Structures are given as C-alpha cells and as structure tokens.
C-alpha cells in the first residue's frame, strides 16, 4: 500500500467513471453499446469472475470497487484473511433489488417470486460477495446512512483495531439508485488509524477525495 500518510489506495466510482488512486481507469464513450456501465467496466478491466453476472447492482458496484482497489494494494487475495475487516456504508441499501423483487410478486395474475433476486434483498449480501471473492473472514458490517459519515467510520474502525486481531480494514461507501452506481472504497492499516495519522485520515483524505462536506462542521 502507499507509504505516505495522506494518499492510501482508493477506488472511486461516480458519474460512470472509475478512478483508482487519481488515475481514470474507465470512462465509456457515448457511442458504446447498451450494456450496463458495470458490465462494460467488468469486461474492460479484464476481470474473470463469472459469479459477477448473477449479482444485483449494489453487489456489482461493491465488487468492482474492491476488485480494482485490491489490485493496487498489498493484500494477498489468494489466502484466507481473518485479520482483514470490511466496513461499508450505503444510503439506499438493497432498495434497487427490493423494488425489482416487489415487481415479481405485486401482480396476482403473474405472481412468481424470484429466489435469485430475493437472495440479494439485504445490503450485507454485497458485503458477503466481497468477502467470498477475497477470502476475508474478519469482521464485516454495513451501515445505512444518508451520507458517508467519517466520524462513524473512524470510530468503528478504531474500535476494531483495538482488539489486536484486525490489522487492515477495507472501508468506504457503496450505493446504487436509479441506475447510478457510486462507490468510494479505500484500505487502511492499524498503524494509520492508531498512530500519528488518527482522524486526519478521515477528515482530510476521505472528505477531500470523495468530495464531501465534513459532518463535524
């Protein structure tokens, strides 16, 4: 991972653009085919994980962000990781999938509940897809918040690191609504949160990079 104290790795998905560590990796043109943005990105990034196509939109968004982030980090994706935690936030949670599932049961004349859709009607399933892909077995949680809350993230991650078993944490924001994927995912080590960096990480790097106002102000 990056060695300085204010520029750790991150992946940002917003406005149909993917940026990793300040570099634009994918931004399709207007004349591209009609495939969904996330499918286009999956193909363009040469990812090989067939289960991706079965995921709901929220899980696809989180998966892509984590996949492209961890390509740049020092986390080994091939071995079990009980010392890695995942802490995410979302605004709409699984609402996109909830509405999709509702459409399969709302018509009494065409009542056909879909198990493949229903299984994704929890935001924690997105968390699970990330953990399965990268063999993460540490702590995991998804908070539902109106906006990304750096105070909650900082406090929760600091608590995780205090137990002595968590050494790294993948954290951030993943949301999907009205056809618009949005994600900001980064990774931080115990040394960054408990050492000299402290809240500076969340009040400076996270806020400025993700383009947010500070909830403290």
Averaged pLDDT for residues 176-196: 80
Q: Any idea what DSSP says for residue 71?
A: T
Strands lying side by side in the sheet with 140-144: 23-26, 17-20, 10-14, 180-189, 168-177, 84-90, 140-144
Q: For residue 198, what pLDDT is reported?
A: 56
Say which residue, 117 or 88, is predicted with more confidence. 88
For tokens 């653009």, name the residue.
17
Query: pLDDT tens for residues 124-156?
Result: 999 999 999 999 999 999 999 988 887 888 889
Cα distances (angstroms) measured from residue 206 to each of 81, 121, 187: 25, 28, 11
Q: Any idea what DSSP says for residue 164?
A: S
Averaged pLDDT for residues 189-216: 58
Q: Which domains does the chain have, with CATH numbers?
A: 10-210 (3.40.47.10)
The answer on pLDDT for 204 being more than 80 is no
Q: For residue 55, what pLDDT is reported?
A: 92
Looking at every residue in the chain, the average pLDDT score rounds to: 82
Tokens of 17: 């653009």
The answer on pLDDT for 216 being more than 90 is no
Angle in degrees, 0-180, between the axes of helices 57-70 and 123-134, rounded to the nearest 10: 30
Among 66-70, 113-117, 197-201, 212-216, the range scoring the smallest mean pLDDT is 212-216
Measured between alpha carbons, how far is 172 from 206 in angstroms, rounded to an integer? 9
Q: For residue 170, what pLDDT is reported?
A: 92
Q: For residue 102, what pLDDT is reported?
A: 83
At 45, is the secondary structure helix, strand, or coil?
coil
CA angle 160, 162, 165 (to 5 degrees): 70
Which residues are paired to 24 by β-bridges? Answer: 19
Q: What is the pTM of this model?
A: 0.84
* Strands annotated E in 61-203: 84-90, 140-144, 168-177, 180-189
């Amino acid at each position: 991972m990056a060695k300085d104290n204010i520029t750790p790795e991150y992946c940002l998905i917003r406005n149909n653009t993917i940026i990793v560590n300040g570099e634009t990796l994918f931004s399709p043109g207007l004349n591209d085919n009609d495939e969904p943005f996330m499918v286009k990105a999956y193909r363009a990034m040469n990812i090989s994980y067939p289960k991706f196509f079965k995921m709901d939109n929220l899980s696809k968004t989180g998966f892509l962000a984590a996949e492209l982030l961890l390509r740049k980090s020092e986390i080994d994706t091939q071995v079990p990781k009980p010392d890695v935690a995942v802490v995410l936030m979302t605004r709409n949670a699984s609402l996109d999938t909830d509405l999709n599932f509702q459409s399969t049961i709302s018509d009494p004349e065409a009542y056909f509940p879909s198990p493949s859709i229903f299984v994704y009607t929890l935001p924690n399933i997105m968390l699970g897809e990330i953990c399965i892909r990268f063999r993460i077995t540490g702590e995991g949680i998804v908070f539902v918040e109106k906006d990304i809350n750096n105070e909650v993230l900082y406090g929760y991650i600091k608590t995780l690191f205090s137990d002595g078993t968590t050494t790294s944490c993948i954290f951030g924001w993943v949301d999907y609504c009205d056809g618009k994927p949005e994600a900001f995912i980064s990774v931080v080590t115990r040394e960054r949160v408990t050492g000299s960096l402290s809240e500076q990480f969340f009040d400076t790097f996270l806020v400025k990079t993700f383009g947010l106002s500070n909830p403290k102000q």
